[in-house]
Amino acid sequence: MNVAGGLRNSLGIEDPDGFYASLIGLHEGLTAEESDAVNAKLILLMANHIGDRRVLDEILARVASD
């Protein structure tokens, strides 16, 4: 069953623990505002890389429903 709709459910990130550590590392020593700015840039870059509007809409809907 694909509870996540059309979004990829299985792991797509290579070396997930390493990626997560890098992600957390980005925020080390930042203020809340700086962290928000970093996250905003991250989201825009990742969204542009995904590109596909249907996928992006599905992600937006998934997050909005929480």
- d(C-alpha 28, C-alpha 35), whole Å: 9
Q: Minimum CB separation from another protein for residue 53, in Å?
A: 21
Q: DSSP state, 8?
A: -
Q: How far is CA 20 from CA 6, 13, 15, 50, 65, in A?
A: 24, 10, 9, 19, 24
Nearer to another protein among residue 7 and residue 44 (C-beta): 7
Which residues sit at the interface with another protein, rule CB under 8 A? 3-4, 7-13, 16-17, 20-21, 23-24, 27-28, 30, 32, 35, 39, 66
Minimum separation from the CB atom of position 62 to another protein (A): 8
- We find the least distance from the C-beta atom of residue 59 to another protein, in angstroms, to be 11
